Amino acid sequence: MSYQAGRATLIGAVVALVASMSAFGAGNDESPASGGGEVNIYSHRHYSTDDELYRLFEEETGISVNILQAKADELMARLEREGDASPADILFTVDAGRLVRAKDLGLLQPIESPQLARNVPPHLRDSDGYWYGLTRRARVIVYHKDRVDAADLSTYEALTDPEWRGRVLIRSSSNIYNQSLLASMIANDGQAAARTWAAGIVDNMARTPTGGDTDQIKAVAAGEGDVAIVNTYYVGRLQASESAENRSVAEAVGVFFPNQDGRGAHVNVSGAGVTAHAPNRANAIRLLEFLSGTEAQYLYATANHEYPVHADVAADPALAGWGEFVSDDLGLQILGELNSDATKIFDEVGWR
Ligand SMILES: [Fe+2]
């Protein structure tokens, strides 16, 4: 869906997508925290389990949920363009780096909620309440089970060793996931070490970066390389795919959580914030509280093969097969703050 599309087209798409929910713009009256009204979401995600959760929220609160789904950057451009006339109350997007960008662009507002503060660990949310992580994903090493012994894997850093020359698959540096991974290295190890790592990965690449994370996993299975750095849920999607071909790709690879003897695997979030001009602010806060709660967290994370952020909620058993892991508990806000340093390093070392 293009953000240039007319409002009528977008409303049509939303209505077609979620027929039971009322269309945007039906009325944006300020609503009390309980007793009806609506909440309008701009979201990158749409899963059928999300609809179940929204229906449950509607039943519990009487607040109607309206969703406009598009790519994250399109939603942010749309929010910028609409300004204070925007009907949006909540922006859902992925990666703390992008959530920080939304905050810096003035698209979000700070909110205070004891419930959100309790449910979302401090390192997975903005310290001033502009955004909250709602699901967790790890950026891991995927390896070909026949060509790589998991005992030979250890850290992200070790993939720059000469033994991995021509064997490493990873997507372009224009991607926010890689920018945030490198930002985490700058935060943990400093600029020089991060630059050495990025240059070392470029030296060991199996090919010029192309495609998304799923393409890297498929390329490992197909033998174009032996290891790839990808987000966990892409492996989960292949495992759960209806396509036998996709499932055999997932079968061929193993998931390795790096840096387990040190800072832990790099973890990022999908998350949300209340928009700067939210017409239904109280309802928006109520929905975020609901999604962060024990009732919703399991389903909300599982919908995309992710991990809950709520410490008391167990992960999907389908992910448990990969084992427990230590995660880097770096405050994710810093990933946004170091984003431009990371992209500068990528340019310097020629990571396309
Ligand atoms: Fe993704």
- In angstroms, what is the span from residue 31 Cα to ligand 1's centroid? 34
- In angstroms, what is the span from residue 234 Cα to ligand 1's centroid? 7
- In angstroms, what is the span from residue 141 Cα to ligand 1's centroid? 15
Q: Residues 87, 92, 96, CA angle at the centre, nearest 5°?
A: 135
- In angstroms, what is the span from residue 342 Cα to ligand 1's centroid? 19
Cα 330 off chain centre by: 16
- In angstroms, what is the span from residue 80 Cα to ligand 1's centroid? 23
Q: What's the pLDDT band for 271 if we cut at 50, 70, 90?
A: very high
- In angstroms, what is the span from residue 286 Cα to ligand 1's centroid? 26
Contacts of residue 268, Cβ cutoff 8 Å, sequence gap at least 6: 94, 95, 96, 97, 136, 137, 139, 177, 180, 231, 332, 335
All structural domains of the chain with their residue ranges: 7-136+269-320, 138-266+323-349
Rg of the chain over Cα atoms, rounded to whole angstroms, equals 20
Instruction: List the one residue out of 160, 145, 128, 110 whose CA is nearest residue 273.
Output: 110
Instruction: Reply yes or no on whether the pLDDT at 72 is more than 80.
Output: yes
Residue 136 has a pLDDT of: 97
Coil, strand or helix at 144: strand
Instruction: Reply yes or no on whether the pLDDT at 327 is more than 80.
Output: yes
Q: Which amino acid type is present at position 322?
A: W
- In angstroms, what is the span from residue 283 Cα to ligand 1's centroid? 28
- In angstroms, what is the span from residue 344 Cα to ligand 1's centroid? 22
pLDDT digits (tens, 9 = 90+) for 177-235: 999 999 999 999 999 999 999 999 999 999 999 999 999 999 999 999 999 999 999 99
Cα 296 off chain centre by: 17
Q: Which amino acid type is present at position 278?
A: A
Task: Determine the Cα–Cα distance for residues 319 and 321; give it in Å rounded to an integer.
Answer: 5
96-104 and 339-349 helices, crossing angle to 10°: 120
Cα 17 off chain centre by: 22
- In angstroms, what is the span from residue 25 Cα to ligand 1's centroid? 30
pLDDT digits (tens, 9 = 90+) for 294-325: 999 999 999 999 999 999 999 998 898 899 99
Instruction: Reply yes or no on whether the pLDDT at 28 is more than 80.
Output: no
Cα 141 off chain centre by: 17
Task: Calculate the alpha carbon distances from 179 to 80, 122, 184, 271, 308 in Å.
Answer: 23, 22, 9, 17, 23
- In angstroms, what is the span from residue 346 Cα to ligand 1's centroid? 20
Q: What's the pLDDT band for 8 if we cut at 50, 70, 90?
A: very low
- In angstroms, what is the span from residue 103 Cα to ligand 1's centroid? 20
- In angstroms, what is the span from residue 232 Cα to ligand 1's centroid? 9
pLDDT digits (tens, 9 = 90+) for 109-162: 999 999 999 999 999 999 999 999 999 999 999 999 999 999 999 999 999 999
How do strand 227-231 and strand 38-43 relate by DSSP bridges? unpaired
Instruction: List the one residue out of 252, 255, 242 whose CA is nearest residue 219.
Output: 252
- In angstroms, what is the span from residue 32 Cα to ligand 1's centroid? 35
- In angstroms, what is the span from residue 175 Cα to ligand 1's centroid? 10
Domains 7-136+269-320 and 138-266+323-349 share a fold: yes
- In angstroms, what is the span from residue 18 Cα to ligand 1's centroid? 23
pLDDT digits (tens, 9 = 90+) for 230-250: 999 999 999 999 999 999 999
Q: CB–CB of 65/57 below 8 Å?
A: yes
Query: Six-digit token pair at 53?
Result: 């959760």
- In angstroms, what is the span from residue 37 Cα to ligand 1's centroid? 32
Instruction: List the one residue out of 167, 108, 149 whose CA is nearest residue 132.
Output: 108
Q: CB–CB of 92/233 below 8 Å?
A: no
Q: At which residue do the structure tokens 């849920």 appear?
A: 233
- In angstroms, what is the span from residue 62 Cα to ligand 1's centroid? 32
Q: Taking all residues of the chain, what is their mean pLDDT, rounded to a whole number?
A: 91
How do strand 64-69 and strand 38-43 relate by DSSP bridges? parallel
- In angstroms, what is the span from residue 46 Cα to ligand 1's centroid? 13
Residue 21 has a pLDDT of: 38
Query: Six-digit token pair at 148?
Result: 């790589």
The third-level CATH classification (topology) of the domain covering 7-136+269-320 is D-Maltodextrin-Binding Protein; domain 2 (3.40.190)
Residue 320 has a pLDDT of: 84
Instruction: List the one residue out of 72, 214, 233 whose CA is nearest residue 138.
Output: 233
- In angstroms, what is the span from residue 242 Cα to ligand 1's centroid? 19
- In angstroms, what is the span from residue 230 Cα to ligand 1's centroid? 9
Q: Which amino acid type is present at position 320?
A: A
Lowest-confidence region among 33-47, 157-171, 262-276, 278-292? 33-47
CATH superfamily of 138-266+323-349: Periplasmic binding protein-like II (3.40.190.10)
Residue 14 belongs to what H/E stretch? helix 7-17
Structure letter (DSSP) for residue 279 = T
- In angstroms, what is the span from residue 93 Cα to ligand 1's centroid? 10
Q: CB–CB of 90/42 below 8 Å?
A: yes
- In angstroms, what is the span from residue 304 Cα to ligand 1's centroid? 10
Residue 35 has a pLDDT of: 59
- In angstroms, what is the span from residue 92 Cα to ligand 1's centroid? 13
- In angstroms, what is the span from residue 47 Cα to ligand 1's centroid? 14
Q: What's the pLDDT band for 2 if we cut at 50, 70, 90?
A: very low
Query: Six-digit token pair at 191?
Result: 């600029």
Q: Residues 348, 350, 352, CA angle at the centre, nearest 5°?
A: 125
